[in-house]
Structure 1
Amino acid sequence: MDLLLNQLDLHPLRAELYNELHSRPFHVLPCPAQVTHIAVLTTPDQRSAQFRHWQDLHIMLGEDAPVEDVSCYEATFGSLRIRREMHMEFASYTFINLAGGEDHQPFRDTGISPLPEGWLEQLTGTVVAAFHIDIQQATKSPKTELAQIRHWFEGERLVGSSPWEGKARVWGTFKLHSDGFGRFMVLNRDMSDSQLGRLTQRLMEIETYRLMSLLALPLARETTPSLNDMDQQLAVITQSLADNHDLDEREVLADLTNIAARIEAFRAHSTFRFSATRAYHRLVLTRLEELREDELSGHLTITEFMTRRLTPAVETCESVKDRLEDLSRRVDRASDMMRTRVELAIQSQNQQLLSSMDRRSKIQLMMQHTVEGLSVVAISYYLVGLLKLALDSAYDAGLDFDKSLVLGLSIPVVMALVFFGVRLVHHRFIKLAQKQ
């Protein structure tokens, strides 16, 4: 069978396509554990610097540094487990501290506590998401547990749920705390290490994608006043066209071109961000469905909180994107109407010009006929003069005839010949012009 497969033409990406589904495996987390997740926006130029910084961490921890930068890399250094994942526009770092015992202090001992001093501060890129997840065993007294949780979350309003058929309880605030990090707490009741890892992975993805999806909201708010202004300008121009007022077509076309240029500038600046927001929002909704949450009495679930807060923000971005597209189409239609108006005006001018040229052509034709008549007289006059000289020579040579009579009779003959000759030449030129 191997020999048969080797004889087939295999796609060069076949192995890579198989490995793609296994490139980012779920974590396997014991309880208790402390996790810190950081997502950093990165440019292509910063990726190489981040990888060198990642290699420095291995050296500082006394391990061999990785040689090749891959999309997902995980390593374990004693009680510290670290993972680096590269995404389309950001890099994520997950630090898992397995040294904390039952008596550890939540959110004082975190996933980044074992890191070498000063390493994290030198990380390049722009931090978007940074939060701690503390995993503990659930207590048997929910009331005592809730009082402790409020203290650990610094008195902020809690959002909580019981995912996966009540096998755990998850608490969070979706706010920044005094240390500048967000916080989540997972209280394990009856979950295996692999289930804890999948649940923690879902929480990290929900929070990271939530923040990434909101990056477009400030841009949408910044763009809206300009859209309102352009919308008003376009409405005035369209109404003027509808009222058929006398307009300066050149000025109106310049205004429309300016509006179109501004719209294209906004689209070029925002299309990727708005499209990314829609994609991240869909990922958030998918991850929320996978939590299969049950409500904790008196608290919003994570899904309810996201639906109430995140969805309107995403819809605002979608609305601004739709307005940009709608304005672009309306400007195109107004420009088409304006161009049609200009073309009709040009056609009217051309018609007037053609009419004027036709009148001039008729005048020139009449003048030509007049000139032709005069030219017939002039040519006939010279021909008769030549004929008179010929008659005089013949009479002097001895021919006996009446010179005056012959000359008089030749005048109408000469004029008739000249007239028909001129007309013949005239018709030949007309036919030649018609053929061309």
Structure 2
Amino acid sequence: VERHTEFVAITQVVPEGLQFTEVADSQWIDRSPQDVLVLARVSSSVGGKMPADVEAVSTLRGGEVVAGSNFTEDNAGFTSWTVAFKKDPGDEAAGRLLQMILEIETYRTLAVMGMDRIRAVHPILQRVANHLPKEITETLDHDAMMKTLASLSAQESELHAVWEKLAWRIGANQAYHELVFQRLDQLKAHGLDGYVGIRHFLKRRLTPAVSTAETVLRRRSELAEQIDERAQLLRTQLQLNLQSQTRDLLANLDKSAERQIRLQSAVEGLSTVAIAYYAVGLISPTLEPFVEPAFKDWVKAGLAPVVIGVVWWTLSRIRNRVSHNT
């Protein structure tokens, strides 16, 4: 029994001349607490021959071993492998080689695990691609930009969900795929004349499936980059529009402040004249008894500039003090 991250491998050795059901209860498969992912039967002998139904055959360890498989499940769900040694390598060496063959079969199956979920992602990616904004232009108004940005955000969430669902699975499948061919390299597998080699068979049947999964992940990454680029363009355009609106608002505020200052100056000027007029009217009667009647108008004329200057100076002091306090 070997425990791995995703599975537990159980190997049952059946002595020559006996059947599996004679040494183990086949019902344990049905009673397994978890899904049974791989069922493989490996038959080994010294000087044996390959069955007629094998799909692929290769020599191993420099021609000292010939191994073949039909890569097809029988009625009981088992995939059959046949291993023929030219000479007896001993129990330990034979056990290691048979173990590696079982690993090839296990990793081969696990390398395509979850393909249904991976294929189910294709419509999602196609829908995202079809609804992706073709171009971002300055002609879009603010509401249209915000609507487009919300749509891009929703699409980004969909792609992120795809990543969370499949990234680990596809990565694991790639690792299992690499392990299959690592084991074949370690066994020095080469094709046998008259048969399809195991390496060639698996590259033709297994590698395209793994490549499909890689393509899904790559397509998802490409769409995510396109969405990010378009969202960034939209955010930049929105920021530029906001800056333009802020600049216009500040310009309007400056104009309003300038008009306010001019109006305030005009009001102050009128106030100065009005106050000076009333002040002259109040002060001149107190001075008229001390001057000749012929000079009364000259008194008013002389008081006017003085009073205007005093009033203007007083209002200026008041304005400056108020401005300083604020």
Please give the TM-score of this superposition, normalised by the length of structure 2: 0.87
* Cα gap change, 1:124 to 1:231, in 2 (>3 Å): same
How far apart are 1:293 and its partner, in Å?
2.1
Give the CA deviation at 1:387.
Answer: 4.5
For the Cα contact (< 8 Å) 1:217–1:316, is it kept in 2?
A: no
Count of residues paired in the alignment = 319
- The structural deviation recorded for 1:255 is 1.5
SS at match of 1:166: coil
Which whole-Å CA distance do the structure 1 matches of 2:196 and 2:26 have between them?
38
Which of 196, 204, 217 is the equivalent residue of 2:115? 217
Structure 1 residues 386, 272: closer, same or farther in 2, change over 3 A?
A: farther
Partner SS state of residue 360, structure 1: helix
CA contact (8 A) 1:253 1:335 kept: yes
Q: Are residue 88 (structure 1) and residue 9 (structure 2) matched?
A: no
Structure 2 CA distance for partners of 1:348 and 1:233, relative to 1, 3 Å: same
CA distance in 1, matches of 2:245, 2:272: 40
Q: Distance in 2 between matches of 1:388 and 1:204?
A: 124
Q: Cα deviation per residue 1:352-371 (whole Å; 9 max; x = unaligned)?
A: 22222222222211211122
Cross-structure match for 1:13: none
Larger RCO: Structure 1 or Structure 2 (Cα < 8 Å, ≥ 6 residues apart)? 2
Alignment equivalent of 1:188, drawn from 85, 89, 104: 85
| Whole-Å separation in 2 of the counterparts to 1:226 and 1:117 | 42
1:339 Cα shift? Answer: 1.0
Structure 2 counterpart of 1:129, which letter?
Answer: V
Gaps of 5+ in 1: 1-83, 140-144, 151-155
Q: Determine if the alignment matches structure 1 residue 339 to structure 2 residue 232.
A: no
In the TM superposition, residue 272 of structure 1 has moved relative to its aligned partner by 0.5
The residue type equivalent to 1:413 in the other structure is V
Query: Following TM superposition, by how much is the alpha carbon of 1:267 offset from its aligned partner in structure 2, in angstroms?
Result: 0.6
Where structure 2 has 5 or more consecutive residues not aligned to the other structure, the ranges are none
Note the C-alpha offset of 1:176: 0.9
Aligned equivalent of 1:123: 32
Q: What's the secondary structure of 1:292's corresponding residue?
A: coil
Once the 2 structures are TM-superposed, how far is the Cα of residue 304 of structure 1 from its aligned partner?
1.1
Q: Which amino acid aligns with 2:213?
A: C
Query: Which residue, 125, 128, 135 being the options, matches 1:230?
Result: 128
CA distance in 1, matches of 2:221, 2:322: 60
Secondary structure of 2:97 counterpart: helix
Corresponding residue for residue 14 of structure 2: 97
CA distance, structure 2, for counterparts of residue 192 and residue 245 of structure 1: 80
Residues in 2 aligned to 1:348 and 1:417: alpha-carbon distance in whole angstroms = 47
Partner of 1:114: 23
CA RMSD in angstroms comes to 2.7
| Equivalent-residue separation in structure 1 for 2:176 and 2:72 (angstroms) | 19
Contact 1:174–1:183 (8 Å) recurs in 2: yes
Matched residue, 1:268: 164
The match for 1:170 is 67
So what's the TM-score if we normalise by structure 1?
Answer: 0.66
Question: How far apart, in 2, do the equivalents of 1:432 and 1:211 lie?
Answer: 83
Cα 1:380–1:114 change in 2 (3 A) is farther
Partner residue of 1:312 out of 205, 208, 231 = 208
Deviation at 1:383, TM superposition (A): 4.7
Alignment match, 1:372: 268
SS of residue paired to 1:179: coil
Which residue in the other structure is 1:410 paired with?
303
Q: Which has the higher helix share?
A: 2
Letter in 2 for 1:420: W
Residue matched to 1:420: 313
Distance 2:203 2:219 in 1: 23
3-state SS of 1:214 partner: coil
Using the alignment, how far apart are the partners of 1:245 and 1:366 within structure 2? 39
Q: C-alpha distance in 1, partners of 2:283/2:238? A: 65
The whole-number CA distance in structure 2 between the counterparts of 1:282 and 1:309 is 14
Secondary structure of the residue aligned to 2:5 is: coil
Match of residue 224 from structure 2: 328
- What residue identity is the alignment partner of 2:315? V
